[in-house]
Amino acid sequence: MDTFQLIILLLDATLRTSTPLILAALAGMFSERSGTINLALEGMMLGGAFSAAAVAFYVGSPWVGLLAAIATTIALSLLHGFACITHKGNQVVSGMAINILMSGLTALVGIALFAQGGKTPALDKGSRFQPITFPGADAVQDVPVLGLIYSELLSGHNILVYVAFLAVPAAWWVMYRTRFGLRLRAVGENPGAVDTAGIGVVAMRYRAVICSGVLVGMSGAYLSTAQGASFLQDMTAGKGYIALAAMVFGKWRPFPALAACLLFGFLDAAATRLQGVVLPGIGEVPVQLVQALPYILTVILLAGFIGRAIPPKALGRAYVKER
Amino acid sequence: MHQMHGAGETGAVQPAIELRGIDKRFGAVHANKEIDLKVDKGTIHGIVGENGAGKSTLMSILYGFYQADAGTIHVDGKLCEINGSEDAIAVGIGMVHQHFMLVETFSVLENVILGVEGGAVLRDGVEKAREELKRLEREYSLNIDPDAIVGDLSVGLQQRVEILKALYRGAEILILDEPTGVLTPQEADHLFRILDTLKEQGKTVVLITHKLREIMAATDNVSVMRQGAMVAHRKTAETSPEELSELMVGRKVLLRLEKGESNPAATVLKVDNLCVDNAQGVRKVKNATFTVRAGEIVGIAGVSGNGQSELLEALGGIRSASEGTVELNRQDVTAGKGVDAAELRRRGVAHVPEDRHRMAMVTAFSAKEAAILGYEDDPAYQKGGLLDWDAISAATANMMSEFDVRPDNPDLKAANFSGGNQQKLVLAREIMRDPELLLVGQPTRGVDIGAIEFIHKRIVAMRDAGKAVLLVSVELDEIMSLADRILVMCDGAIIGEVAASEANERVLGLMMAGVDPNEAKAAEGQA
């Protein structure tokens, strides 16, 4: 295998590994831009993944599974909103509570339903999202350079990968070019300004967490019905937190967050590829180090190399009218 | 200062706003008692009262932020149900809040259209809004770039954005809540000119303030509130500051502080090239150099946020100095080199911080606990390694009688005292230790007029007892009546010094805006 082919394969894997991160990072962005900290991404992703796999297994359609995942994550978002927005609870605690709850609940329900130690049964082809082959992809496969880019890198992914990448400009447009986005950003910066402008702060924040729920639901469904073929216990393995880190890394903006997700996705893909590979002069690459890189990078880069990441001003603060 | 308007031009017909029997309680607090108010169309109407008199509550009811327990609101003669700011906007009421309701990361245009975007996609409404803004700016000479980011604008300009917001929403009645608290005198004058233009265009302005000077200068009519009740309505031309302050307080008050000449002796505090950075590493105090002698009050004037707070905190030992030295009686006490607030207190520096609730006391504590904060290690308060509550109670009772703290109950929770009484307790705690140097910031912020008089007298008494006093205040009146020498800070630097006898508001105002003192005095000479 030549180097070019290796790079294409690595990038191809990067697209697949970064897809759930992109969807979840955008989900986090919608929630946090409106002032609600969303540490619950991890747990919501897990809940979405479980619902998608379980429903897809019973119904035999990945689309119904996807809807189930989104319904689950919207419900969890509303729960988070009920604690944080309506009852002004601690947003970090509520988020962590959802994470812990979902880690246990998915396993519990999984065992009760399927008795496979927390897993869901393997999905057949028709119950999963299948790769979409672009027209002529096979024909151009042997054209040097461009052929491989088209057939391997761009073509042959499942629908959710394309949705994730299209969701980034869409989120940008909603955030910066619509009335909804303007109000959403305003409510995360100064809810008082929104209130005195005659817009309901609470309703606005709920709408933001519902958007967050839709996106993170897709991210969960991707894990169990597109990338994988069943739900595994704790299969998110920290992806929710990585997505959150990517969002902070991207300063709560869609395109920089996309770049961060691609970087983290690339490191993930590289870690798999580099497993057991002996590099000249270095020796065998310690896989654990590569796996830890996203976290290490986040800490180091946030500590000063990318400039200060300024969060939305009202992030984490429930809105209370002053007397 | 701005010229007074004749009351003759305000012969109005239908009141723009009429409030009848407005009543509001917050738990045990009766914030508004059966308030009646008429505001004539096309006038500037002032509402004065001490802090806590219920002015802001009343205006919040008018703007729909709270709902009254009883009473009715009539706008242009029509009964209105105002249940939220959207209702207030709909009947043409706009409000400029004391704390601006602006999104700092947004542009002026975005702030203005928030809530009235004119379509689900911004592009549709933005161009129309831009045209309308241009028209409004021309009409009222507001001088604002619609694409400027609000966070980059000065406070004066941010306030104009708030006015623009109200006008854009078609406000015919504009309420301004303590609008000049954060402005330089020049900015305040500019604001009053804008309000005049608004009046000429037939708008009605309600101005809420506790500054009598502004009422006298800017309004046509004035209503006075005291302890939640409306106590008087006057035509501004037919009243005086003395009468208004008496109405506000309910007894005669001395507006002008009587104090003798100062007798400065040896230098107590010597500050040399002091630089202080904030937590973000931004230099907030730049090469401050000055002295304070025994027997004088040195005042530091400046618009809030120009480094005075950081300077005071560094001198008080709660913020490290980055460069420069501070000497107390020729001994190095620069904060950060093993010198902290406790050490400074041991050496005779008393510090009354600017923010009473955040730094001077714990409001959840009882008065006696609050009265020993920072001095709890004093052997007089200790018995066998434990706190001697009998001695503490006695000491607190002594402070309370000496400083006229009411009610004089050492066991009452600090939060249950009024602002003025809390401040008197803090001052008692610091002054009764008989310090060499008193650092005092915003001594009368949120304090009623009666207590202001008392606090000012005690500070002057400190000076007359031969102590050094450094006073930081954003209230120019306070600085001018208390200080013997005035230093003006702008953007972290001490712009210059003016003797109190030569100081006036115009010169200080120009210096606060960063104008060189010599130029400021020259400009004053020409004026």
With b for 16 or more beta-carbon neighbours within 10 A and e for fewer, the A196-220 pattern comes to bbbbebeebbbbbbbbbbbbbbbbb
pLDDT for res B50: 80
* A189 neighbourhood in chain B, CB within 8 Å: 103-106
Closest chain B residue to A188, measured at CA: B103
Closest CB to B97 among A179, A183, A196: A196
Question: Which residues 274-313 of A have a C-beta within 8 angstroms of B?
Answer: 313
Unique residue bearing structure tokens 């006036």: B504
Mutation target to probe the B interface, by most B beta carbons within 10 A, among A179, A183, A185 is: A179
* B26 neighbourhood in chain A, CB within 8 Å: 323
pLDDT for res B420: 84
Closest CB to A177 among B101, B102, B122: B122
Could you say which DSSP state residue B236 is in?
G
pLDDT for res B363: 86
Measure Cα distances from A72 to A65, A164, A314, B85, B311 in Å. 10, 19, 27, 36, 54
Mutation target to probe the A interface, by most A beta carbons within 10 A, among B61, B114, B174 is: B114
* A199 neighbourhood in chain B, CB within 8 Å: 114-115
pLDDT for res B92: 93
Q: Give residue-wise pLDDT tens across range B239-278.
A: 998 888 888 888 776 667 778 888 899 999 999 999 999 8
Looking at chain A, which runs of residues are DSSP E strands?
131-132, 157-158, 278-279, 283-284
How far apart are the CA of B103 and the nearest CA of chain A, in angstroms?
Answer: 6
How far apart are the CA of B423 and the nearest CA of chain A, in angstroms?
Answer: 21
Mutation target to probe the A interface, by most A beta carbons within 10 A, among B59, B82, B103 is: B103
Q: How far apart are CA A271 and CA B177, in angstroms?
A: 60
Collect the ranges in chain A with pLDDT lower than 50: 323
Unique residue bearing structure tokens 């809807």: A67
State chain A's mean pLDDT as an integer: 90
Is the CB of residue B403 less than 8 Å from the CB of residue B427?
yes
Q: Give residue-wise pLDDT tens across range B365-381.
A: 999 999 999 888 889 99
Place B13 in a pLDDT band, splitting at 50, 70 and 90.
low
pLDDT for res B2: 45
Q: Give residue-wise pLDDT tens across range B46-66.
A: 999 887 788 888 998 998 888
Q: How far apart are CA A254 and CA A47, in angstroms?
A: 24
Closest chain B residue to A195, measured at CA: B85
Using DSSP's 3-state secondary structure scheme, residue B25 falls into strand
Place B526 in a pLDDT band, splitting at 50, 70 and 90.
low
Q: Cβ contact (<8 Å) for A190 and B113?
A: no
* B103 neighbourhood in chain A, CB within 8 Å: 185-186, 189-190, 193
Q: Cβ contact (<8 Å) for B95 and A192?
A: no
Counting Cα atoms < 13 Å in the Cβ hemisphere of B251 gives 6
Q: Is the pLDDT of residue B3 over 80?
A: no
Closest CB to A198 among B85, B97, B104: B85
- Give residue A74's Cα distance to chain centre: 14
pLDDT for res A198: 86
Q: Give residue-wise pLDDT tens across range B185-220.
A: 888 888 999 999 999 999 999 999 878 888 998 999
Q: Cβ contact (<8 Å) for B101 and A182?
A: no
Q: How far apart are CA B276 and CA B285, in angstroms?
A: 5
How far apart are the CA of B118 and the nearest CA of chain A, in angstroms?
Answer: 9
pLDDT for res A307: 62
A55: phi then psi, degrees, rounded to nearest 5: -70, -40
Domains and their CATH numbers in chain A: 3-306 (1.10.3470)
pLDDT higher for B164 or A149? B164
- How many CB pairs (< 8 A) connect A and B? 73
Q: Give residue-wise pLDDT tens across range B375-428.
A: 888 899 999 889 999 999 999 999 999 998 888 889 988 888 888 889 999 999
Q: Give residue-wise pLDDT tens across range A157-213.
A: 999 999 999 999 999 999 999 999 999 999 999 999 999 888 999 999 999 999 999
A190 touches chain B (CB under 8 A): yes
Using DSSP's 3-state secondary structure scheme, residue B374 falls into coil
Nearest by Cα to B197 from B161, B238, B167: B167
Looking at A202-261, which runs of residues are DSSP E strands?
none
Q: Give residue-wise pLDDT tens across range B293-341.
A: 999 999 999 888 889 999 999 999 999 999 999 999 999 999 887 889 9
Is the CB of residue B287 less than 8 Å from the CB of residue B263?
no
Closest CB to A192 among B101, B105, B120: B101
pLDDT for res B7: 40
Q: How far apart are CA B514 and CA B494, in angstroms?
A: 10
* B168 neighbourhood in chain A, CB within 8 Å: none
* A313 neighbourhood in chain B, CB within 8 Å: 104-105
Closest chain B residue to A178, measured at CA: B121
pTM: 0.79
pLDDT for res B8: 40
Q: Cβ contact (<8 Å) for B116 and A197?
A: yes
Closest chain B residue to A199, measured at CA: B115
Tell me whether 0.90 is exceeded by the ipTM.
Answer: no
Closest chain B residue to A179, measured at CA: B120
Closest CB to B85 among A180, A186, A195: A195
Q: How far apart are CA B406 and CA B419, in angstroms?
A: 11
> How many degrees, rounded to 5, is the angle at CA B111 between CA A316 and CA B73?
90
What pairing do the DSSP bridges indicate for beta strands B349-352 and B437-441?
parallel
Q: Is the pLDDT of residue B10 over 50?
A: no
Domains and their CATH numbers in chain B: 1-92+207-245 (3.40.50.300), 267-356+436-526 (3.40.50.300)
Q: Is the pLDDT of residue B127 over 50?
A: yes
Q: Cβ contact (<8 Å) for B97 and A178?
A: no
